[in-house]
């Protein structure tokens, strides 16, 4: 079976690996290079707490377990870091939200507990003690992060070993549909790729790809910015969600920083490119240095700007399209958490193994009113 996978991010790589493992002939197409889109500009936090409704929470929990299994099976699985997540709030209103998040997690059997300042400092001794509350610090031990570029490399390497072809720097310009089925994908280079099935893993461009196939995919994409520091002699081993800054390690002594406030300073320029404000980046680095004094002297090595692909209702869009049954979706926010598991479910369904028991709530048809 010839399958064209559109997009070479974490979803595209996971779908390609799942398809080739099952014997499909796969071509992965991307307008750029693997991991150079949203997947390369993400905080890549792996988590399930706070996700609603219940089916979304369950999908995320299964996604976390899929990461554990893959990392256990793989040799030198250096992309997966299940070290836990620490989170606390700055004011009573935010603390109440955190209390509700913890209560919801506990009610669902999700692993979370409260820590005191002393307990948190045993986990993260590099934090300035005066930046921590005396108590009320939430600890989610099963959470962590992935290095998406390394994961994509691993998944694609295994797909290539099974005959997968990569077509890079060649954007999709058309989807050929006749007789109610996709027949081929057309590229900017003029190349035509015959297809028995197509999987739309195009992230923030997924709505455009769907439109080329005559399908509607409502999206509300948002910009996202992460900041990578220069190497610094500071010890941090967890994901840390402090009131003004989110941090995690990013390899070789670097840290990855994020805050929603920085996302809010990003806007579309007249050229259509996205740019951030340098002052906000400097403030974020200062906030990180106040939290971790060992960051003193660190500089900004890079600012990574991406566009988060978010379907209109915030939930993933996964699996086949009823109107075009050999056209499939793998699009969502939280791809870092979901991709390995959901990508494999989609791959199985492409090859005829119905996944309706898991994917029924994530079909694209939910956006289309039922015909009378």
pLDDT tens profile 4-36: 999 999 999 999 999 999 999 999 999 999 999
Q: Report the pLDDT value the prediction gives residue 370, as an integer from 0 to 100.
A: 59
Cβ atoms of 328 and 320 within 8 Å: the answer is yes
Quick: pLDDT tens for 90-135.
Answer: 999 999 999 999 999 999 999 999 999 999 999 999 999 999 999 9
pLDDT digits (tens, 9 = 90+) for 150-194: 999 999 999 999 999 999 999 999 999 999 999 999 999 999 999
Helix (H, G, I), strand (E, B) or coil at 320: strand
- Arithmetic mean of pLDDT over the chain: 94
Say how far apart CA 27 and CA 198 lie, in whole Å. 10
Our measurement of the distance from residue 12's CA atom to the centroid of its chain's CA atoms, rounded to an integer in Å, reads 12
Strand pairing of 25-29 and 274-275?
unpaired
Torsion angle (degrees, nearest 10) of CA 317, 323, 325, 328? -20
Q: Assign domain 2-63+148-219+311-367 one CATH number from 3.20.10.10, 3.50.50.60, 3.40.640.10, 2.60.40.2470.
A: 3.50.50.60
The per-residue pLDDT for 267 is 59
- Residue 29 has φ and ψ, to the nearest 5°, of -120, 135
What was the pLDDT predicted at 266? 67
Look up tokens 């379907």; give the residue: 311
The pLDDT tens digits for 212-247 are: 999 999 999 999 999 999 999 999 999 999 999 999
The yes-or-no verdict on residue 254 having pLDDT over 50 is yes
| H/E run at residue 114 | strand 113-115
Phi, psi of 60 (to 5 degrees): -70, -40
**pLDDT above 60 for 272:** no
The confidence band for 270, taking pLDDT boundaries of 50, 70 and 90, is very low
Q: Tell me, what's the pLDDT at 264?
A: 79
Distance CA 309, CA 210 (A): 14
Tokens representing 325 are 């049954």
**CA-wise closest residue to 305 among 341, 323, 280, 331:** 280
What's the mean pLDDT in 266-275? 47
pTM of the model: 0.95
> For the chain, which residues make up each domain, given as ranges?
2-63+148-219+311-367, 85-141, 222-308
Considering Cα of 282, then 288, then 291, then 292, what sign does the dihedral take? negative
Mean local confidence (pLDDT), 277-292: 92
Q: What percent of the chain has pLDDT over 70?
A: 96
At 124, list the tokens. 């993260």
Q: In which band, very low, low, confident or very high, does the pLDDT at 261 lie, cut at 50, 70 and 90?
A: confident
CA distance 327 to 182: 7
User: Which pLDDT does position 372 carry in this prediction?
Assistant: 35
């Amino acid at each position: 079976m010839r399958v064209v996978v559109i997009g070479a991010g974490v979803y595209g790589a996971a779908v390609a690996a799942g398809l080739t493992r099952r014997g499909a002939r796969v071509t992965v197409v991307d307008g750029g290079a693997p991991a150079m889109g949203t997947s390369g500009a993400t905080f890549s936090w792996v988590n399930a707490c706070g996700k609603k409704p219940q089916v979304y929470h369950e999908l995320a929990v299964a996604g976390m377990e899929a990461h554990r299994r893959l990392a256990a099976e793989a040799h030198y699985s250096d992309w997966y870091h299940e070290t836990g997540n620490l989170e606390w709030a700055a004011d009573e209103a935010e603390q109440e939200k955190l209390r509700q998040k913890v209560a919801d997690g506990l009610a669902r059997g999700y692993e979370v507990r409260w820590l005191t300042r002393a307990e948190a400092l045993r986990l993260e001794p590099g934090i300035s003690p005066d930046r921590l509350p005396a108590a009320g610090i939430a600890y989610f031990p099963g959470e962590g992060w992935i290095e998406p570029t390394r994961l994509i490399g691993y998944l694609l390497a295994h797909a290539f070993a099974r005959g997968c072809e990569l077509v890079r720097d060649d954007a999709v310009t058309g989807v050929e549909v006749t007789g109610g089925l996709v027949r081929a994908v057309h590229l900017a280079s003029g190349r035509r790729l015959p297809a028995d099935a197509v999987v739309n893993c195009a992230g923030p461009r997924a709505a455009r790809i769907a439109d080329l196939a005559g399908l509607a995919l409502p999206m509300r994409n948002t910009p996202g910015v992460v900041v990578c520091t220069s190497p610094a002699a500071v010890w941090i081993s967890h994901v840390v969600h402090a009131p003004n800054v989110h941090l995690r390690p990013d390899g070789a002594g670097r840290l990855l920083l994020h805050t929603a406030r920085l996302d809010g300073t990003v806007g579309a320029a007249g050229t259509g490119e996205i740019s951030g404000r340098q002052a906000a980046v400097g403030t974020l680095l200062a906030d990180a240095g106040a939290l971790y004094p060992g960051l003193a002297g660190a500089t900004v090595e890079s600012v990574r700007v991406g566009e988060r692909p978010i379907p209109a209702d915030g939930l993933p869009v996964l699996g086949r399209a009823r109107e075009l049954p050999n056209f499939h979706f793998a699009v969502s926010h939280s791809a870092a958490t979901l991709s390995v598991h959901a990508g494999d479910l989609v791959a199985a369904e492409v090859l005829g193994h119905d996944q309706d028991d898991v994917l029924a709530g994530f079909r694209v048809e939910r956006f289309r009113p039922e015909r009378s």
